[in-house]
Chains A and B, each alone.
Chain A
Amino acid sequence: MNSHLNRAGGSVERPAITRREAIQRAAIFLGAALSPSLLSGVMRAQSAPAAAGAKPVYLTAQQLETAAALAERILPRTDTPGARDVGVPAFIDLMYGKYLSPEEKKLFAAGLAEVETASAAAHRRAFPQLATAQQDALLTRLAEAARNREGTFFYQLKELTVVGYFTAETVGKTVLHYDPVPGRFDACAPIAEVGNVNWTK
Chain B
Amino acid sequence: MATIQGAGTKQNTYDAIVIGSGISGGWAAKELCEKGLKTLVLERGRDVKHGDYPTAFKESWEFEGRTKLPPAEIAKQEKQNRTGYTTHPASAHWFVNDLENPYSEEKRFDWMRGYHVGGRSLLWGRQSYRWSDLDFEANAKDGVAVDWPVRYAEIAPWYDYAERFAGISGSLEQLPHLPDGQFQPPMELNCLEKDVKRRVADAFGGRPLIIGRVANLTQPLNGRGSCQYRNRCIRGCPYGAYFSSNAATLPAAYATGHLTLRPFSIVSQLIYDEARGRAIGVRMIDAETNAVIEYFAKVIFCCASSVASTSILLNSKSARFPNGFGNDSGELGHNLMDHHFKVGASGLSDKFADMYQKGQRANGIYIPRFRNLNQATKQKDYIRGFGYQGSASRSDWSRGIKELNLFGPKFKADLIAPGPWRLGIGAWGECLPYHENRLFLNDKVRDKWGQPTVTFNCDWKENEYAMRKDMKASAVEMLEAAGLKDVTPFDDVSAPGLCIHEMGTARMGRDPKTSILNRWNQVHAAPNVFVTDGACMTSASCVNPSLTYMALTARACDYAVSELKKRNL
Do A and B interact? yes
Residues of A within 8 A of B (CB): 1-9, 73-76, 78, 80, 91, 94-95, 98-101, 136, 139-140, 143-144, 146-148, 154-155, 158-159, 162-164, 166-169, 172, 175-176, 179-194, 196-201
Inter-subunit contact A136/B408 (CB<8 Å): yes
Residues 371-407 of chain B, each 1 if its beta carbon lies under 8 Å from chain A, else 0 = 0000000000000000001110010111011101111
| A2, A146, A154, A172: most-surrounded residue (chain B CB, <10 A) | A2
Residue of B nearest to A76 (CB): B409
Inter-subunit contact A94/B64 (CB<8 Å): yes
Inter-subunit contact A191/B402 (CB<8 Å): no
Inter-subunit contact A163/B67 (CB<8 Å): yes
Interface-located stretch among B11-19, B312-320, B358-366: B358-366
Instruction: Name B411-464 residues within 8 Å CB distance of A.
Output: 411-413, 415-419, 424, 426
Inter-subunit contact A1/B126 (CB<8 Å): yes
Instruction: Pick the contact of A181: B194, B230, B344, B361 (CB < 8 A).
Output: B230
Q: How far is the CA of A186 from the CA of B229 in the complex (A)?
A: 10
State the Cβ distance, A148 to closest chain B Cβ, in Å: 5
The answer to whether A95 and B359 touch (CB under 8 A), given A74-B407, A76-B409, A78-B412, is: no
Q: How far is the CA of A152 from the CA of B519 in the complex (A)?
A: 57
Q: How far is the CA of A186 from the CA of B405 in the complex (A)?
A: 35
A198 CB contacts on chain B under 8 angstroms:
394, 396-397, 415-419
Interface-located stretch among B53-61, B95-103, B142-150, B299-307: B53-61
Residue of A nearest to B427 (CB): A4
Q: How far is the CA of A7 from the CA of B68 in the complex (A)?
A: 17
The 9 listed contacts between A and B (C-beta, < 8 Å) are: A3-B85, A99-B70, A99-B71, A101-B71, A136-B407, A162-B397, A166-B415, A186-B359, A194-B357
Residue of A nearest to B72 (CB): A98
Inter-subunit contact B389/A187 (CB<8 Å): no
A8 CB contacts on chain B under 8 angstroms:
84, 492
| A1, A74, A196, A201: most-surrounded residue (chain B CB, <10 A) | A1
Instruction: Pick the contact of A7: B189, B389, B492 (CB < 8 A).
Output: B492
Q: Is B354 an interface residue (CB 8 A)?
A: yes
Residue of A nearest to B413 (CB): A78
Q: How far is the CA of A187 from the CA of B392 in the complex (A)?
A: 10
Instruction: Name B477-501 residues within 8 Å CB distance of A.
Output: 490, 492
B417 CB contacts on chain A under 8 angstroms:
196-198
The answer to whether A98 and B359 touch (CB under 8 A), given A3-B84, A180-B59, is: no
Q: How far is the CA of A75 from the CA of B83 in the complex (A)?
A: 31
Inter-subunit contact A144/B405 (CB<8 Å): yes
- Nearest 8 CB-CB pairings of A with B: A4-B426, A182-B359, A185-B359, A167-B60, A187-B188, A186-B358, A169-B61, A187-B190
A186 CB contacts on chain B under 8 angstroms:
188, 357-359
Inter-subunit contact B490/A76 (CB<8 Å): no
Q: How far is the CA of A133 from the CA of B314 in the complex (A)?
A: 70
State the Cβ distance, A187 to closest chain B Cβ, in Å: 4
Residues 163-190 of chain B, each 1 if its beta carbon lies under 8 Å from chain A, else 0 = 0000000000000000000000001111
B344 CB contacts on chain A under 8 angstroms:
4
B343 CB contacts on chain A under 8 angstroms:
4
B396 CB contacts on chain A under 8 angstroms:
198-199, 201
Q: Is B191 an interface residue (CB 8 A)?
A: yes
A189 CB contacts on chain B under 8 angstroms:
355-358
Inter-subunit contact A4/B61 (CB<8 Å): no
Residue of B nearest to A156 (CB): B401
Instruction: Pick the contact of A185: B126, B187, B409 (CB < 8 A).
Output: B187
State the Cβ distance, B53 to closest chain A Cβ, in Å: 14
Inter-subunit contact A188/B355 (CB<8 Å): yes
Q: How far is the CA of A144 from the CA of B405 in the complex (A)?
A: 7
Q: How far is the CA of A199 from the CA of B229 in the complex (A)?
A: 12
B352 CB contacts on chain A under 8 angstroms:
188
Q: Is B342 an interface residue (CB 8 A)?
A: yes
Q: How far is the CA of A169 from the CA of B62 in the complex (A)?
A: 8
Inter-subunit contact B416/A155 (CB<8 Å): no
Q: Is B341 an interface residue (CB 8 A)?
A: yes
Inter-subunit contact A163/B401 (CB<8 Å): yes
The answer to whether A187 and B191 touch (CB under 8 A), given A1-B364, A199-B360, is: yes
Inter-subunit contact A5/B397 (CB<8 Å): no
Given contacts A2-B391, A3-B84, 12 further A-B contacts (CB under 8 A): A7-B492, A80-B412, A80-B416, A101-B71, A148-B402, A163-B401, A167-B67, A168-B61, A180-B230, A185-B187, A191-B354, A198-B417
The answer to whether A185 and B354 touch (CB under 8 A), given A74-B411, A158-B401, A201-B60, is: no
State the Cβ distance, B340 to closest chain A Cβ, in Å: 11
A5 CB contacts on chain B under 8 angstroms:
346, 390-391, 424, 426
A75 CB contacts on chain B under 8 angstroms:
407, 411-412
Inter-subunit contact A1/B127 (CB<8 Å): yes
Q: Is B66 an interface residue (CB 8 A)?
A: yes
State the Cβ distance, A84 to closest chain B Cβ, in Å: 13
Inter-subunit contact A191/B364 (CB<8 Å): no
Q: Is B228 an interface residue (CB 8 A)?
A: yes
Inter-subunit contact A184/B412 (CB<8 Å): no
Inter-subunit contact B228/A188 (CB<8 Å): no
A95 CB contacts on chain B under 8 angstroms:
65, 68
Q: Is B125 an interface residue (CB 8 A)?
A: yes
Q: How far is the CA of A78 from the CA of B65 in the complex (A)?
A: 26
Q: How far is the CA of A136 from the CA of B227 in the complex (A)?
A: 46
Q: How far is the CA of A183 from the CA of B228 in the complex (A)?
A: 4
Residue of B nearest to A196 (CB): B417
Q: How far is the CA of A144 from the CA of B404 in the complex (A)?
A: 9
Inter-subunit contact A76/B404 (CB<8 Å): no
State the Cβ distance, A150 to closest chain B Cβ, in Å: 9
Instruction: Name B528-552 residues within 8 Å CB distance of A.
Output: none
Q: How far is the CA of A94 from the CA of B272 in the complex (A)?
A: 56
Inter-subunit contact A200/B59 (CB<8 Å): yes
Instruction: Pick the contact of B125: A1, A100, A101, A140 (CB < 8 A).
Output: A1
Inter-subunit contact A183/B66 (CB<8 Å): no
The answer to whether A194 and B492 touch (CB under 8 A), given A99-B71, A101-B71, is: no
A4 CB contacts on chain B under 8 angstroms:
341-344, 389-390, 424, 426
B409 CB contacts on chain A under 8 angstroms:
76, 78
Instruction: Pick the contact of A188: B125, B191, B400, B404 (CB < 8 A).
Output: B191
State the Cβ distance, B88 to closest chain A Cβ, in Å: 11
Q: How far is the CA of A143 from the CA of B85 in the complex (A)?
A: 28
